[in-house]
Every structure is written in C-alpha cells, then in structure tokens.
Chain A
C-alpha cells in the first residue's frame, strides 16, 4: 500500500480542494481495494488522535470536521476500547515479570547491616552452587552442539539414517502441522535443514537461537553456511514435546522457523 497518506488524511480532515475530493470519491465508488486502503489511513488518523500525536491544528480539524457523526464517534470508541484491551495485555505481561518492588524490599534489609551481611553471603553461596550445577550441564550440551556442527554436513547421504526435518522460514505457528517430529521416533541425532530464501554464493556466518515454548534453550554463534540452506545437527536430548522456534540472524536479516515435537 503506497497511497499518498498526507493527502488522504487531508481528505478526512476535509481540507482538500473540491476537485481532489471528487477524484477520491469517484475512486471510492469504483475501486474496493482503494477504499480498504483509505479506511486503513482513516484508522491511523484515529489512532494518532487517541495517542495524542496530532498537531494542534490537526486535532482541531479532527474534532470539528471529522468527528461529526455518530458512526465516527462509535468507531473512535471502538478503537479506543480495543487499544485499551490490548494495552491491558501488556500490563498483564509486565505484572508476570519479576516485580521491581522486590528490590525495594531487599533494599530495606540493608537498614540492618549484620542481618543483611548474612543474607548476602547465603545468597551468594546458593547462587554460586546453582550456577555451577546448571552451567556444568548446559556447557556440556552446548559444547556437544558446537562439536556436532563443526562437522562437514554437506554430504546428505551420511545423514540419511538420522531423523531429517526440512523447514521453510516464516512458517506460521498455525501451519506447523506440516513441520513436526514425533518424540518416540527421533534418532540419537537430528538433522535440521533450514531453507534460505535466497541462494548464498559465498560462506556467511549466522547466529542461531533455539527456543522451546517461547523460552530460549540455546544460542550458537558462527554457524557458517552457503548455498540454499543452513544445516544443523542436534542431539536427541533437546527434543521434547512442545513448540520449537529456530531463529537465524545475519546482520539485519532475521529468519524464523517453526516446528512441533509431538
């Protein structure tokens, strides 16, 4: 959609010359697609009004020339409520995140230095213990993935006996029915073949992020590939039932691949 937005905003604010208005209105009657695009510009104008980003002049024109019918008021209210509901979802997400008040509470403990000192020492010991335990396991798996992917994966015949999964980027989560693995049938290693939208003639470096059910499991850097696809060899242990997302990043380019383990 590349309409002249400024011109069409003026149409809704009723400050266009008569001849241009007539041209627009003829197109509205003749062209359904144009009308749909125009309606989109109308929504953007209403959103700008609700977000208070119109200039003073535009705001005045909006109220005196645009907002003059019951239907338009209803439309404004509808969008306002819709935005409020969407905003409340953001608030719910923020509440679900760790509360900043916790920091204030901890901060209050420092009013009693000896008590605070004991707590800090205990916390540090616990954190160190947990960190050591998890990084030991995580590092083991990470290094396994790194080692697996240092191999030359260009000869597909060598990996024929393994579970293979070919994925195209941008596949909708709703369409994952075609991209799935069954947990019970997965071989010790899995070869993922991530199709690239364009053929790469010289080797290029990607960073790879593997997420499951929205949580990042592993991040790898420096996966170098060329040609039409990126290949990843992964251990069976990371595949459990759930929704998986693999993100390939290269400079400003970002490709997402989705599949499900059943």
Chain B
C-alpha cells in the first residue's frame, strides 16, 4: 500500500481503548471490524483484501486523536470512510491492463502460450473438482448445468431434491465455490 502505515503498540492500545475500556470487548470489536473490512474489499474486487483491511485499521488508529469523538459518530463510519479511499487507491493502482485482460480472456486463439495458460487453469479446476466430496461435486456441477431461462426451474428442482431451500442451497454452492477457488489458485501457482 502507498502509505505503509505501521501500527505501533501505542496506536494499537489507543485503538482498543477507543473501542471499549474493557480490553476483551475491544478485542472482539476489533476482530468484527477487521472481518467486515475484508468482506468490503473482497466485494470491491480488490486483491489482497486482508492487507487492505489492516491498512485501513492502521490509518484509522493513527488518526484517532483527530476525531471529534463528541459527535456520536459510530466507529464503523470512520472505518468505512478510510476503506473507501483505500479501495479507490488500490483499484487505481491495480487497474487491469489490456495485456492482463488478454491473458485472462485468451482472445487470441493463435497464441500458444496463452492457450496453455487457459488449458492449465481448466485442468486445475477439473483436478480441484475431483478433490471435492462426491455429493458436493455433484451439487456444484448440477447447479451450473443449465443456462438462461432453464436454470431457474432446474435450480429450484435441485434444491428440492437435496431437501434444501433455494437460499440454503445457494449458500452451500457458494461455500463449495470458495473452496474450489482457493484450490484453483494454489494449483495454478504450483504448476
């Protein structure tokens, strides 16, 4: 990150005190906010969400003294303000280039190197799918089997077959997808 704010013990103590005089309660609050910030950066499409969450906390901690604590603003609004700025900086810095788009989209089918990357990613995904428990693999494959107008009825029936509500099935699929994504990333990095 551009500003490279390192959190000192003094800043950290001040931050916890700002959350609550009760150290344990303050610790819980800290974790909640950090997790919330990670979710925020992930949904913003930022790389390294955890690093950005820590950067946000560090910047807030450094500025606590300047906050008008009498105005009753919730802690979270300060964090959001900083997080929005950091996400803008990150997105600007990491704005995807045309070359990267090409690498990811594999537009030029004659480029053997790019095709190899794509093929490798595909093989990795198949490998990761095979590592899933049979029931989970079946569910995620079935879930994405149908497209367009067909998929709604298909997914409703799939949920029914699995004894789940649509919402519960989507959450399950979402969690399987998360496992797959992590596996895929590791596999691509290794190969």
**Residues of A near any B CB (own CB < 8 A):** 1, 22, 25-26, 28-30, 32, 35-36, 38-40, 42-43, 47, 51, 53, 66-79, 81-87, 89-90, 170-174, 254, 256
Contact = CB atoms under 8 A, between A and B. Distances in A.
Q: Which among A29, A83, A84 has the highest number of chain B CB atoms within 10 Å?
A: A29
B122 interface: yes
Given A1-B167, A29-B36, A89 B43 contact: no
A254 B153 CA distance: 14
Interface string B165-184: 01100110010010011001
B7 interface: no
A121 to B, nearest CB: 42
B36 A86 contact: no
Contacts of A90: 145-146
A170 B159 CA distance: 10
B163 to A, nearest CB: 4
B174 A28 contact: no
B115 interface: no
B43 A73 contact: no
Interface string B121-133: 1100110010000
Interface residues of B, number: 55
Contacts of B77: 26
Interface of B: 33, 35-37, 39-40, 42-47, 76-77, 79-80, 83-84, 91, 94-96, 100-101, 104-105, 121-122, 125-126, 129, 135, 140-148, 151, 160-163, 166-167, 170-171, 174, 177, 180-181, 184
A1 B144 contact: no
A30 B80 CA distance: 11
Contacts of A26: 76-77, 80
Given A22-B80, A78-B184, A53 B144 contact: no
State the 5 A-B residue pairs at the shortest beta-carbon distance, nearest first.
A29-B36, A170-B163, A86-B144, A69-B45, A72-B45
26 contacts: A25-B80, A25-B84, A28-B43, A29-B76, A29-B80, A39-B174, A43-B174, A69-B45, A69-B91, A69-B94, A70-B100, A71-B45, A73-B100, A73-B104, A73-B105, A76-B104, A77-B121, A78-B125, A79-B144, A81-B121, A82-B177, A86-B142, A86-B145, A170-B160, A170-B163, A256-B160
Describe B's contact surface by its main secondary structure.
helix
B122 A70 contact: no
A37 to B, nearest CB: 8
Nearest to A1: B167
A35 B170 CA distance: 13
A30 B83 CA distance: 14
Contacts of B91: 68-69
Given A68-B45, A170-B160, A172-B163, A85 B141 contact: yes
A128 B39 CA distance: 66
A67 B96 CA distance: 9
B36 A171 contact: no
Q: Which among B83, B135, B147 has the highest number of chain A CB atoms within 10 Å?
A: B147
A69 B163 CA distance: 37
Nearest to A245: B161
Nearest to B163: A170
A256 B104 contact: no
A28 B39 contact: yes
B40 A25 contact: yes
Contacts of A72: 45
Nearest to B33: A29
Contacts of B101: 73
B144 to A, nearest CB: 4
A81 B125 contact: yes
Nearest to B97: A70
A76 B33 CA distance: 28
B95 A77 contact: no
Given A68-B95, A86-B145, A254 B36 contact: no
Q: Which among A25, A66, A83 has the highest number of chain B CB atoms within 10 Å?
A: A25
A1 B170 contact: yes
